[in-house]
Structure 1
Amino acid sequence: MKKLILGLFVVFGISACSLGNDDIDTSCGSNVNTTFTGIPLLCNYSVKIEPEKSGALVVTTEEKLLSFFTKHPNSCPNPSDPTIDFTKNYLVGLFAGQKPTTGYSIKVASIVENNCEIIINLYEKAPQTGESTAPTVTYPSDYILIPRTSKKIFFNKVTNETTDNVIIGSYAKPCTGDDCQKFYQLNEFNVLKFLNVVAGSYEFGQYKYLATSKRGEYSLFTKNIPAEILAIRGQTKTYGTPDTSTKGGTYFELRQGTTVTKIYIDNNDTEDQSAAIKAFKKTIQDKITALKQ
């Protein structure tokens, strides 16, 4: 395995991590998957100096956070709590550098840990064939929280990942309990559990999430999608009246490239739900129950 960096190097003209190549120490024992927390940092902070080159940053104190970022009023409608407890966590930032158009991204795929090292696996996405982009300079980034550690932190770039994913959820409106908003993202390399989702506000980039490494969930689940839903690609459709239903609703979102399909299904079986939709609704509900365990 190759490491893409360690420690502190220059991306902002100050100490941070660069994305070079080097061998990881193989004497540290076996690697085990580690969960991590994603944080929508840019809902509450802005980068003081956008890095022109790719790199990474490990922030260990509030003072360092404020030296790299400017705190500002919430830019997301319902952002997650921006507080970071640096007595318990480090903030890790990944930066793809300056890009000439939209359509680029960088993401943490998974984290593995052994006796002496933490290895953060990441991937970068460029615009896909046929994808519509705007000629706007962008600076893609991603932010996660990891427990404080004395271990060395390395970054390993992986390839052949896809940003396609599904989001499944169960909700009630109004929400009167801790368990009435349950939402998960399934992609090819992990499962995300979104935290403190606000009823009716289903733009998930504004929420913290817990990520657990689990490969192939996206491909496996998409085999269950009915042709009726695939046919409305890129649109939004509601079955029944889930927002006012006494039983609440079931949510499904399919992201394929830049195309997003959203489905809201009344948990009551309504006349507009075909047998295929009812079966798919149960599949979603069963999957949510399994993920909660």
Structure 2
Amino acid sequence: MKKLMLGLFVAFGISACSLGDDTKYEDCGANTIVEFTGFPFACNYSIKTPPPNSAVTVVNSQTKMDQLFEKHTNSCSVASDPSIDFTKQYLVGVFAGPKPTTGYAIKITSIVENGCEIIVNYYEKVPAANEAVSQVTTNPYDMVLIPKTSKGFIFIKTNESPDNMIIGNFSNQCTGADCQKFFQINDYNTLKFLNVASGQYDFSQYRYTPTIKRGEYTLLLKDIPAEILALKGQTKTYGTPNESTLGGIYFEMNQSSVITRIYIDNNDTADQTAAVKAFKKLLQDKITSLK
């Protein structure tokens, strides 16, 4: 397990510290969960100078934000709030460093704190076997917002599977803020995406809040009907959920970077087999329980 200690009051330049250093740290008692918010950073900001190696940053002021990042016009298809109130929040980032192709990623999975330190857990993804990649240099990173703190930071690399599912209910009749409910289910946490717009299902453009719960992806995987598993990498719609006043259920599965998308009418339509209807009911109940 790799650890990095980052004192809060040192200069937080991206290159100030690199990931992968073994550092002893003090045992400061039991850990409690730190609530954080996923931040769609790329919608409104770019990195002025990408770090030459793996690195971390904790940005605790607008001055530091302006030093490290360039603000630009929103590049996402939905409205994206770029604001950070540094009197209440800090921006925490992990950077994987330059990679030779696409298919790499780095992700913050959980954050805990004890009496003297904040512990940020993250994992790194490499291209899956047979994953199609482009021969271009990439610089993967992940950014989250945490409550303001005076504690030091430790970053710990863990081993996690990047496979996940996204489930949600959608309707063209849904016009209020956050009336559509969408969740990403991993084996290390569950993310609730905030204010998902109708038909806009690129989830990288939404803020999210996590619930730390292990093993949910593996449990749900057992209940997917064989006919949906067989659609690997395809998109299929059951019924006409976009025309239905009841809307539909969205299901997305990302396995070894192969993405399958399913839209299921909330009405029971002729093309829905008994297995699909049962799976739809399971997803409906799961979404209700996660709200």
Amino acid in the other structure paired with 1:60: N
Identity of aligned residues (%): 58
Q: CA RMSD in A?
A: 1.5
Flag the 1:113–1:238 CA change in 2: closer, same or farther, 3 A. Answer: same
Q: Distance in 2 between matches of 1:211 and 1:79?
A: 21
Flag the 1:86–1:10 CA change in 2: closer, same or farther, 3 A. Answer: closer
Partner of 2:51: 51
Amino acid in the other structure paired with 1:204: F
Partner of 1:278: 277
Q: Distance in 1 between matches of 2:153 and 2:4?
A: 10
Is the contact made by 1:6 and 1:18 (CA closer than 8 Å) also made in structure 2?
no
The TM-score, its normalising length taken from structure 1, stands at 0.94
Cα distance per residue 1:194-220 (max 9 Å; x no partner):
001111101101100001211111101
* 1:65-80 alignment, distance < 5 Å: 65-80=65-80
Is the contact made by 2:40 and 2:204 (CA closer than 8 Å) also made in structure 1?
yes
Cα distance per residue 1:225-263 (max 9 Å; x no partner):
100100111011111111121111111000012210000
Q: Distance in 2 between matches of 1:10 and 1:169?
A: 38
Is the contact made by 1:121 and 1:155 (CA closer than 8 Å) also made in structure 2?
yes
Partner of 1:169: 168
Is the contact made by 2:179 and 2:195 (CA closer than 8 Å) also made in structure 1?
no
* 1:245-256 alignment, distance < 5 Å: 245-256=244-255
Secondary structure in 1 matching 2:280: helix
Partner of 2:263: 264
Partner of 2:36: 36
Is the contact made by 1:41 and 1:143 (CA closer than 8 Å) also made in structure 2?
yes
Q: Which consecutive segments of 4 or more residues in structure 1 shift more than 3 A?
A: 7-13
Cα distance per residue 1:92-133 (max 9 Å; x no partner):
111001111111111001111112111000111111222221
Q: Distance in 2 between matches of 1:128 and 1:23?
A: 33
Partner of 2:91: 91
Is the contact made by 1:79 and 1:207 (CA closer than 8 Å) also made in structure 2?
no
Is the contact made by 1:108 and 1:122 (CA closer than 8 Å) also made in structure 2?
yes
Gaps of 5+ in 2: none
Q: Distance in 2 between matches of 1:2 and 1:234?
A: 34
Is the contact made by 1:40 and 1:206 (CA closer than 8 Å) also made in structure 2?
yes
Amino acid in the other structure paired with 1:229: I
Q: Distance in 2 between matches of 1:277 and 1:106?
A: 34
TM-aligned CA deviation for residue 24 of structure 1: 2.2
Q: Distance in 2 between matches of 1:2 and 1:101?
A: 24
* 1:10-159 alignment, distance < 5 Å: 12=14, 16-19=16-19, 20-26=21-27, 28-159=28-159
Is the contact made by 2:128 and 2:256 (CA closer than 8 Å) also made in structure 1?
yes
Q: Distance in 2 between matches of 1:138 and 1:51?
A: 11
Secondary structure in 1 matching 2:66: helix
Q: Does 1:291 align with 2:252?
A: no
Is the contact made by 2:183 and 2:193 (CA closer than 8 Å) also made in structure 1?
yes
Q: Distance in 2 between matches of 1:149 and 1:11?
A: 18
Q: Distance in 1 between matches of 2:164 and 2:46?
A: 27
Partner of 2:223: 224
The TM-score, its normalising length taken from structure 2, stands at 0.95
TM-aligned CA deviation for residue 21 of structure 1: 1.4
Partner of 1:244: 243
How many matched pairs? 288
Secondary structure in 2 matching 1:247: coil
TM-aligned CA deviation for residue 184 of structure 1: 0.3
TM-aligned CA deviation for residue 25 of structure 1: 0.9
Is the contact made by 1:164 and 1:255 (CA closer than 8 Å) also made in structure 2?
yes
Is the contact made by 2:12 and 2:57 (CA closer than 8 Å) also made in structure 1?
no
TM-aligned CA deviation for residue 221 of structure 1: 0.9
Flag the 1:95–1:118 CA change in 2: closer, same or farther, 3 A. Answer: same
Q: Distance in 1 between matches of 2:95 and 2:279?
A: 38
Gaps of 5+ in 1: none
Secondary structure in 2 matching 1:139: coil
TM-aligned CA deviation for residue 9 of structure 1: 6.1
Amino acid in the other structure paired with 1:102: T
Q: Distance in 2 between matches of 1:100 and 1:248?
A: 42
Secondary structure in 2 matching 1:22: coil
TM-aligned CA deviation for residue 272 of structure 1: 0.9
Q: Distance in 1 between matches of 2:107 and 2:83?
A: 21
